[in-house]
Structure 1
Amino acid sequence: MQILGFSSANLQFHSFIFVIAIALCFVRVSSSSNETDKSALLAFKAGITEDPFGVLSSWNNTVNFYQWYGITCSHRHPNRVTMLNLSGQKLSGSISPHIGNLSFLTGLWLQNNSFHHEIPSQIGRLHRLREIRLNDNSLMGQIPKNISACLKLLGMHLSNNQLSGEVPPEMGSLVKLQILYLEVNHLTGSVPSSIGNLSSLEQLDVSYNYLGGSLPRTLGQLTKVTALDFFGNQLYGMVPPSLYNLSSLIIFDIGSNQIQGSLPITMGFGLPNLQFFSIENNQFVGSIPLSIPNNASNLQLLQIGGNKLLGNVHSFEGLYDLQFLYIDNNHLGSGVSGDLNFLCSLTNMTSLTTLSIFGNRLGGPLPRCIGNISITIKQLDFGQNPIIGEIPREISNLVNLEILGMYNNSFSGAIPIDVGNLQNMTVLSLFNNNLSGVIPSFLLKMKQLLKLSLDGNHFHGHIPLHLNKCHSLMELDLSNNNLNGSIFPVVKTLIYLNLSHKHLNGALPAEARQIDHLDTLDISSNMFGGEITSTLSGCNALTILVMKDNHFRGSIPESISSLRSIEELDLSNNNLSGEIPKFLAAFDFLEFLNISYNKFEGMLPTEGVFKNTSATFIAGNNKLCGGIPEFRLPKCVSRQSKSKEAARKLKLFLSIILGLLGVVVPVCVYICCLKKKKTEEHSSPESIPGNTYLTELSLKRSMENGTNVAVKMLNLTSNGALKSFKAECEALKRIKHRNLLKVLTVCSSSDYNGNDFKALVYEFMVNGSLEEWLHPSPIHLIQRIKISIDIAFALDYLHNQCHSTIVHCDLKPSNVLLNDEMVGHVGDFGLAKIILESTFYTNTNISSAGLRGTIGYTAPEYGMGSVVSVEGDVYSYGILLLEMFTGIRLTAEIFKENLNLHIFVEEALPERVLEITDPILVREMENYAGESRKSTLQDCLLMAYRIGIACSVGVPGERMSITNVAPQLCSIRDKLYATGLRG
């Protein structure tokens, strides 16, 4: 048969030729594709700069490329690469753009390496790609927009890199995408609303970036999503209501943002499968919805701390699977008994490991049901609440407890002996309470104890020697107690040791050098004495050494030169002498040095820390010379020059004396005879050690010669003036502290008319009184906090650290003086009274001498005839503190009838805290960037007001102890520092 002129045989022949041609063409294409993939891989290898395990050594021509390490090829297309897996090989280099030529690639796994540079945009050509894993590298640049062309993508892992720029809105076209991990990068911009188009998305994590704006409403369209994580960004606005109805959600985390609003009361109904819920560190208000414990019964973690939630805390009884409960740092509770009853609802949670309620208003005693919480509990934090009463002994039932925080409360009594059963304890924080008794010996049982904080209590007696046997202890703080004696805990594992503000004495033990890992040592405000010698020479790791306010003498020893890591050194207010050693200038890391108020002399170095006047403090060392010009010290004179000058002055002096001797002596004898009788009638005041008496004439000449001093001259004609002078002298001879006004000398003589002349000469305070700075009030918040700390330290010294207790009796802003560094100094001891050690009160009734102090600052019990007490000073301090932050004078018109500053502030808190605050401070807060920072400032103000209120309550026995005031104010200062605020 013929068809169109072709025979059947010809047709078969031509068909065969066609098939052969097609086959040869396929071979050529296959061969070409084979070479394309191989070339792409070799180009990828060329971009690798480090291959420590040698995994790419097999990538050579000796074997087929589909046998190379990390390569997987298709079964249908054996010469086409479908998987490139080089994860976890510590490879370094860049990802070659030729990766885009692997057109059959479905999986690209390069995670956990050190790839850098950018993600090549050619990845967008991989249309078969289903999963890309580039996480845990050092990739930079932006996410390629054309990655949206990889429409078959199911998973994208780009976390833990250094990617920047926006999340491409084009990614909304990846409708098959199930997993999108972008956390821990530098992404900016907002969350694109196109994310809501990812209808298959199950997990979205963009935490730890810099994303802003509000959460898009379109996220409510993600009906299959199980995990949404936006933690640690800069998001604001409110959560779209639709998100609270995503019933598929298991994990929802929007913590550490600036999100506002309240939790809907129906939240528990809309999220029945929720297991992990966190809104910590935002600005949520309102109360905790009852629907959470009633309906979200699968919850394992509930983290709602760091917001502005208020109201009562209700039962959590329905959350049987709960493991972590954080409701800390809110405004929950009302400060009354019953606030903590909800703790009893936690007894059915058999998996609970962590409970944190610190920083609220939860008051009353701790219920004994706390001992019935599951023994799985490992961490309890009740700190910074108005909790009262004794620590329940039932807490000892929680035998697996590792961390117990009961700090900044009002717990009283002794630590129950049963607490010794908690032998898994690693951190025990009981600071700033009213605990008393001796430090218990059962602490020795806690073999795992790493941190022990008992500071700011009323413990007495000696530091127990058994602490030396706590061989795991790394941090020990026993400061601000009533401990005494000379025992010094030498625990070789210690890193932090604070023994400040006690009554410890003696010398530092030689064994202290054995604490070779010690980083911080604070023994300030004690009675340690003797020479420093080489006691600390072995503490080579020390970075902070504070020894101020003691009785150390002698020179700074050469052994201190071994402390090469020291960053902060405070030796102020001691009796140290000699020259300042040059090795201090050679310390590489020294950033703060305070050697004020010692007896140092000679040349001040000019290198190292001594080049920075804001980091070096040398006041009160009158024999120093040299230094950089900013210190304004006199020039140093050589010994040879001094000898010549002394000889010249001696010759001149002898000439004058010999010339005038014949005239002056008879005149002096005559004058002395005339005044002998009158002089005998006036007794001199009590002597002040270290000071001399001046005559009126010499005092005037000293002032005329340019010496800046402050002189308090007494009008001896006024009633009680001489008694006031003697009282002040008696008080001043007993005290020495950096926050007390230093008396330089006493002038007691007669004037030209033969009248008595008495004056006190004080160190000159350049910045005048606190009164002058408060009205008007230009000082910043941090400055006011620091000055209030200074005053608290001064009062604590007078009340608790002097040989005999001294009550100031007239504390007010005009009696607080400020030096050139704005450091507060309490002065004017004209009304001060010294309390005998045998009794807590003086034997003199105030009614016999008239009302003590200044109206408004005087404790109310003084007006009813009560005796002088330290509580009276605390009251004055509380009123002064409230005045410092309100800026309101006590003579203001608002204080009429029964209203005073204490009542005025107490009634305003907490809702009207800004309304009563000095407008200067309010403007400072408004100008301070960031809502979260403003919130911190407001919280700090609230804490300061509460301290002032606690100090100025009407009943003396209910006032806060001055020993606890300074540590709490210091914590406020540290919070302000943490926000970046400086004065």
Structure 2
Amino acid sequence: MIMKLFLFLAFYTLILLENLVVGFSDEASKFDGNADRKALLALKSQIYETERLALASWNESIPFCKWKGVTCGRKHKRVTRLNLRGLKLGGIISPSIGNLSFLRSLNLGENSFGGTIPKEVGMLFRLQRLNMSYNNFQGVIPTSLCNCSRLVTLSLMSNRLVHGLPLELGSLSNLEMLILSKNNISGKLPTSLGNLTSLSQLAIAYNHMDGEVPNTIGRLTKLIHFQISVNNFSGVFPPVVYNLSSLRSLSVARNLFSGNLRPGFGNMLTKIEELCLGGNFFSGDLPKTISNISTLTRLSVSQNHFTGNIPITFGALHNIQYLGLDNNSFGNNLVGDLDFLSALVNCTHLQMLDVGYNRLGGELPIYVANLSKALTRLYFGGNLIAGSIPHDIGNLKNLESLGLETNLLTGRIPTSLGKFSGLIQLFLNSNRMTGEIPADLGNITSLEALYLFNNSFEGSIPPNLGNCRFLSDLRIGNNRLNGSIPQEIMQIESLVNLHVLENLLTGPFPKDVGRLKNLVVLSAANNMFSGHIPETLGKCLALEEIYLEGNAFDGAIPDIRNLKALTYFILSDNSLSGGIPEYLANFSSLESLDLSGNDFEGMVPTKGIFQTPEKFSVSGNGKLCGGIPELKLRSCPQNVTSWARRHSSNKKKIFIGVGIGVASLLLLLLALSFLVKRKKRNGAENTNNFLSNTSLDPFHERVSFEELRAATHDFSSSNLIGSGNFGSVFRGLLGPESKAVAVKVLNLQTRGAAKSFMTECEALKGIRHRNLVKLVTCCSSIDFKGNEFKALVYEFMPNGNLDTWLHREEAKVSVSHSRPLKLSERLNIAIDVASVLDYIHSNCHDPVAHCDIKPSNVLLDDDLTAHVSDFGLARIIDQESFINQVSSTGVRGTIGYAAPEYGMGGKPSREGDFYSFGVLLLEMFTGKRPTDEVFVEESTLRSYTESGLQEHVLDIADISILQGEVGNKNMSTIAECLKLVFHVGIRCCEESPTNRMTMAQALAELVSIRKRFFSSQRTRL
């Protein structure tokens, strides 16, 4: 009985305790659930929603477990998952996130969250999956994350995280995926990552990490995806990677790895499907054993230094889809270099083949047409492939892009190309092709880009091209095309770039040009167009650049006042007349306006671009008046705002004007006659009269010796910024405004210095260009010792001269710049110099040869815009003028830059400047002076560059270019750009003057290169 009572009491006690525990548990659950709700509301309070109210359900009237993105556990009603991915949320993450202690999965990806990652996330000890990718998180990866020991997936991709990886990451032993790509993480890979033996995916691409890959990575035997591309890792190909036999995807592209790959590469990594090694400095032969990797679908070794032949064994890669071998040194410029193509016929899944910019020679074999029918992209550009394009290439009907540019191809364009119904891009430029452009190209209605420039095509432009309704980029310049532009071309409303320059095109420009609503660049320079420029041009509202120079257009400038985006407007060397439209002064985006060599009349505006003589030119228009004082034009008649507005019927005023003009001309002739006689009587006084008593004085103010002495602190050595053949240059602060100037003091004891002074004054008197150094004033006086003193005062260029930038280690003066010039900056400078040379050769009133183009005579302003200086050896071309008389002897330029014919007594000429510019261009991009000690016997900078193009262009490039561009552009793009620039330099400095590329041609080529690789405008990357 007692026993039964005891059992009853025990049973009752257990039931009572259970009820108490359950009740307590329910209360606890209710309390903790309330904590989760508060944590979520605190989180919402720091979030803003950019488009819609995605978190509208997060309110007191709805249970938090039913809020959008919230998932709770079934038993305890605690938040276990929070998924806010892709809701377009912004703001910061509240530290209250750490109170969601039951959270197992947190997904905040694809939003715009900023701030730092809260360290409180490390309190979520149950967390298994954390995704905060594609946001704007900043700061470091908090070490507290390593407290989440159950983490299986950690993705912080595409944020702005900085500094190194926490060493404590190695404690996350359950981690299978670590994705940190596309941040700003620096430092080295921690050796502790070798402890993550469960890791199957490690992605740290697109960061700033450096050093070598640690050996501990070899412990990650389960690793399937290893991506460390686009960093600064160095050393040889990581030896530990050879041990990761489970790898299916390996990308080490765009780092600083070097050396050879092991011959047995393909026997070690036998499961690889994607192998990306491009953009490094690997060299030697490409291992033939790679063909043993039967699983390989993608192979990219672009932009390296691989040599030898492309292995024929690659034909065994039956699953290969993408094969990128471009920008190496494959081949030997010989027949047989393309034999590998016969083996690739077996690769029936091949979709992309790029062997461009190597050393492949020989002719394009017929069996190229037998390649995979799945091919969509095929590139052979930038080699030395000769012969004609096989007619049957049209069999590759699925091609979307075909690149055969910059080779030695001859013959005609095969009509079979018209079979490419899906072709989007066709690049045949810069070859030696002839014949007519086939009308069959008009059958390629999907075409978006057609590059045929720099060939010898002739005949007319086929009207059938008008069928290419999606064509946005049509470049057929630098050929021998004739006839007119078909009206059908004007119906391609998708056109963005239309380049027909340097042809033999005639007739009026199509009036329907106004239909090209998307046109950004119109380049029709140096043809034989005539008639009026169409009025409808003003309807092309997207236009930014118009190049119509070197034609026979007449009449007035059409009304283009609505082209508000216009940056370049070049109309020089035509027969245009009428007034200069005043509305051009309102174009705030206009950077260059050239109206020289026409027949414009009336007043030159004085506002907007017309206030900056470096940006516009109106020279060679004898009927213009007014304008800013620097133009030195005659004053306009009183009570007339614009000469062009005067009514032609007012004969009396015309006669008076003509009479005044004739009288002025006579007075000018008398003055010049007097000057010549006075020069003969008294050569010693000629210089001062030249500057002060004649119409040749180009200056508004003159300065005294005392003013210059004060401005330069008595010509202190601390202000010395350079020296040359005829004197020294000092920095100074001139006048009450303390204007920064450069004062060139002539050493009159040096033979030719006085003549150089007069020559430079005369040369700069009548020419104005944005890239010419501005001569502010001059001084011809007596110093405090009674000696003759002469000085030229220029606008100060704060970035010194180009020579000190190119050869910083040799610079003997203090320079503020501590970095090398970027590729884009060098290209901009080259264009600046070519632009001013083209101007003084062809577009100013009296064509001038500079005669001393070299880096030290190229000055750089605040934004690295180049200004050509030192016209002390300049000569007016083909004229017996004053400038020729004062500088008729000793014109030889500088050793290394002077044209060969100058050494044999040849006269100064445009061709001499072509040569000097070519040498300058090669020096700018190789980093070697023409007088470098490596050039011995018959070796020259030109031959060095020419031979380097046949090897590997990156080997001859200035190493500082490559260092400056790593991470900005891939090596393939850099190599392609450099190769084109070097071609221009080589063609400019041909031995024979008649074979040299002109400045107009060089300028057009360089501008085209800049547009292709950077942008249509000046680019400061």
TM-score interval (norm. to shorter): 0.7 to 0.9
Aligned residue for 1:561, secondary structure, equals coil
1:955 CA displacement: 12
Q: Match for residue 238 of structure 2?
A: 240
Distance 1:224 1:613 in 2: 68
Separation of aligned partners in 1, 2:301 and 2:1002: 30
Using a 3 Å threshold, how does the CA distance of structure 1 residues 34 and 821 change in structure 2: closer, same or farther?
Answer: closer
User: Structure 2 CA distance, aligned partners of 1:923 and 1:371?
Assistant: 40
Match of 2:694 in 1: 705
Task: Give the direction of change, closer, same or farther, for the CA distance of 1:93–1:194 in structure 2 (3 Å limit).
Answer: same
Q: What is the identity, as a one-letter code, of the residue corresponding to 1:705?
A: T
For 1:37, what is the secondary structure of its paired residue?
helix
In structure 2, the CA distance between the partners of 1:509 and 1:700, relative to structure 1 (3 Å rule), is farther
* Cα distance between partner residues in 2 of 1:109 and 1:815: 62
Query: Is the contact made by 1:550 and 1:574 (CA closer than 8 Å) also made in structure 2?
Result: yes
Q: Residue 879 of structure 1 contacts residue 902 of structure 1 at CA under 8 Å; is this kept in 2?
A: no
Return the offset for 1:518.
Answer: 1.4
Cross-structure match for 2:892: none
Q: Deviations over 1:514-533 (max 9, x none)?
A: 22221211011112223325
- 1:211 corresponds to: 209
What per-residue deviation string (whole Å, max 9, x for no partner) do you get for residues 693-752 of structure 1? Answer: 99966766896624279xxxxxxxxxxxxxxxxxxxxxxxxxxxxxxxxxxxxxxxxxxx
Change (3 A) 1:953 1:52: closer
Residue in 1 aligned with 2:175?
A: 177
| Counterpart residue number, 2:26 | 27
Corresponding letter in the other structure for 1:440:
P
Pairing 1:253-268 to 2, within 5 Å after superposition:
253-268=251-266
**Aligned partners of 2:271 and 2:468: how far apart in 1?**
46
SS in 2 for 1:204: strand
Q: Relative to structure 1, is the Cα distance of residues 829 and 285 closer, same or farther in structure 2, using a 3 angstrom cutoff?
A: farther
SS of residue matched to 1:541: coil
1:462 aligns with 2:460: yes
Q: Cα–Cα, structure 1 residues 300 and 813, in superposed 2: closer, same or farther, change >3 Å? A: farther
Distance 1:829 1:937 in 2: 41
Q: Which secondary structure does the structure 1 equivalent of 2:457 belong to?
A: strand
C-alpha distance 881-161 of structure 1, shift in aligned 2 (>3 A):
closer
User: Aligned equivalents of 2:657 and 2:57: distance in 1?
Assistant: 93
8 Å CA contact retained: 1:204, 1:227: yes
User: 436, 443, 464: which is aligned to 1:438?
Assistant: 436
Query: Which residue of the partner structure matches residue 403 of structure 1?
Result: 401
Deviation at 1:321, TM superposition (A): 0.8
SS across alignment from 2:410:
strand
**Deviation, structure 1 residue 408:** 0.9
Quick check: 938-947 or 110-119, which moved more? 938-947
Deviation at 1:602, TM superposition (A): 4.7
1:296 is the counterpart of 2:293: yes
How far is 1:67 from its partner? 3.5
2:588 corresponds to 1:584: no
The answer (yes or no) to whether the contact 1:513–1:537 under 8 Å persists in 2 is yes
SS state at 2:170 partner = helix
Change (3 A) 1:18 1:782: closer
- 2:354 aligns with 356
Report the TM-score, using the length of structure 1 for normalisation. Answer: 0.73
Structure with larger Rg: 1
What is the correspondence of 1:576-725 to structure 2 with a 5 Å cutoff?
Answer: 576-621=576-621, 631=630, 633=632, 636=635, 639=638, 705-707=694-696
Separation (CA, whole Å) in 2 of partners of 1:116 and 1:513: 46
CA spacing shift, 1:350–1:893, aligned 2, 3 Å: closer
After alignment, is 776-785 or 139-148 more displaced?
A: 776-785
Gapped regions of structure 2 (runs ≥ 5)? 642-651, 679-688, 699-761, 774-800, 807-825, 859-865, 881-897, 905-909
Paired position in structure 2 for 1:668 = none
- CA distance in 2 between counterparts of 1:965 and 1:434 reads 18
Q: Partner of 1:564 in structure 2? A: 564
2:316 equivalent in structure 1: 318
Offset from partner CA, 1:656-685 (integer Å, 9 cap, x none):
x9xxxxxxxxxxxxxxxxxxxxxxxxxxxx
1:273 is displaced (CA, Å) by 0.9
Q: What's the CA shift for 1:375? A: 0.7
Paired letter, 1:393: H
Correspondence list, 1:442-841, <5 A: 442-488=440-486, 489-493=489-493, 494-557=495-558, 559-621=559-621, 631=630, 633=632, 636=635, 639=638, 705-707=694-696, 785-786=830-831, 821-822=867-868, 828=877
Q: Is the 8 A contact 2:468 2:492 kept in 1?
A: no
Alignment pair present for 1:250 and 2:248: yes
Give unmatched runs, 5+ long, in structure 1.
658-690, 710-759, 769-774, 799-807, 832-853, 861-872
1:351 match: secondary structure: coil
Q: Does 1:309 align with 2:306?
A: yes
Provide closer, same or farther for how the CA distance between residues 317 and 518 of structure 1 changes in structure 2, counting only shifts above 3 A: same
Letter in 1 for 2:326: D
Report the equivalent of 2:275. 277
Deviation at 1:120, TM superposition (A): 2.0
Separation in 2, partners of 1:779, 1:53:
53
Q: Summarize the Cα distance change of 1:395–1:708 in structure 2 as closer, same or farther, 3 Å threshold.
A: farther
Alignment of 1:44-59 (within 5 A): 44-50=43-49, 54-59=53-58
Query: 2:485, 2:509 within 8 Å by CA — same for their partners in 1?
Result: no
Q: Who is 1:727 aligned against?
A: none
Query: TM (normalized to structure 2)?
Result: 0.71
Shift of 1:276: 1.1
Counterparts of 2:993 and 2:440, CA distance in 1: 34
User: Is the contact between residue 263 and residue 289 of structure 2 (CA under 8 Å) also seen in structure 1?
Assistant: yes
Cα distance, 1:63 vs structure 2? 4.9
1:102 deviates by 1.6
| Contact 2:326-2:355 at 8 Å conserved across structures | yes
Distance 1:411 1:269 in 2: 39
**Counterpart residue type for residue 25 of structure 1:** F
SS at match of 2:262: coil
Distance in 2 between the 1:635 and 1:396 partners? 64
Name the structure 2 match of 1:225.
Answer: 223
Q: Which moved more, 1:207-216 or 1:224-233?
A: 207-216
* Alpha-carbon offset, residue 218 of structure 1: 2.6
- Alignment CA distance shift 1:434-1:826 (3 Å): farther
Q: Name the CA shift for 1:120/1:626 in 2 (closer, same or farther; >3 Å).
A: farther
- Asked whether the equivalents of residues 874 and 952 of structure 1 are also in contact (C-alpha less than 8 Å), the reply is no
Shift of 1:965: 6.9
TM-superposed CA distance for 1:409, in Å, is 0.8
- Larger displacement relative to structure 2 (541-550 or 81-90): 81-90
The aligned residue for residue 714 of structure 2 is none
C-alpha contact 2:918 2:988 (8 A) present in aligned 1: no
Shift of 1:366: 0.8
Q: C-alpha deviations, 1:346-380, integer Å up to 9, x for none?
A: 11111111111111111111111101101100111
Q: Which moved more, 1:616-625 or 1:225-234?
A: 616-625
- Counterpart CA distance in 2 for 1:951 and 1:336 is 27
Deviation at 1:149, TM superposition (A): 0.6
Instruction: Name the CA shift for 1:933/1:472 in 2 (closer, same or farther; >3 Å).
Output: closer
Partner residue, 2:778: none
Residue type at the aligned position of 1:33: D
* Distance change (3 Å), C-alpha of 1:391 and 1:875: farther
Please tell me the residue identity of whatever aligns with 1:354: M
Pairs within 5 Å for 1:150-165: 150-165=148-163
- Asked which structure has the greater RCO (Cα within 8 Å, sep 6+), the reply is 2
Deviation at residue 961 of structure 1 after TM alignment: 12
Query: Once the two structures are superposed, what CA deviation does each residue of 1:139-189 show, in whole Å capped at 9, x if it has no partner?
Result: 333322201111111111222333334332222211111112222333333
Matched residue SS, 1:365: coil
Query: 2:73 matched to which residue of 1?
Result: 74
Distance 1:910 1:396, change over 3 A: closer
CA 1:213/1:569 → structure 2, altered by over 3 Å: closer, same or farther? farther
Question: What is residue 745 of structure 1 aligned with on the other side?
Answer: none
Q: Equivalent residues in 2 for 1:81-120 (5 A)?
A: 81-120=79-118
Shift of 1:930: 6.0
- Cα 1:695–1:13 change in 2 (3 A) is closer
User: What's the C-alpha RMSD, in Å, of the aligned pairs?
Assistant: 5.1
Partner SS, residue 69 of structure 1: coil
Question: Cα deviations across residues 24-44 of structure 1 (Å, max 9, x unaligned)?
Answer: 433332332232223223333
Percent of aligned pairs with the same amino acid: 32
Query: CA-to-partner distance for each residue in 1:80-101, whole Å, 9 max, x for gaps?
Result: 2212223333334433322211
Q: Is the 8 A contact 1:857 1:880 kept in 2?
A: no
Contact 1:226 1:249 in 2 (8 A): yes
Deviation at 1:454, TM superposition (A): 1.0
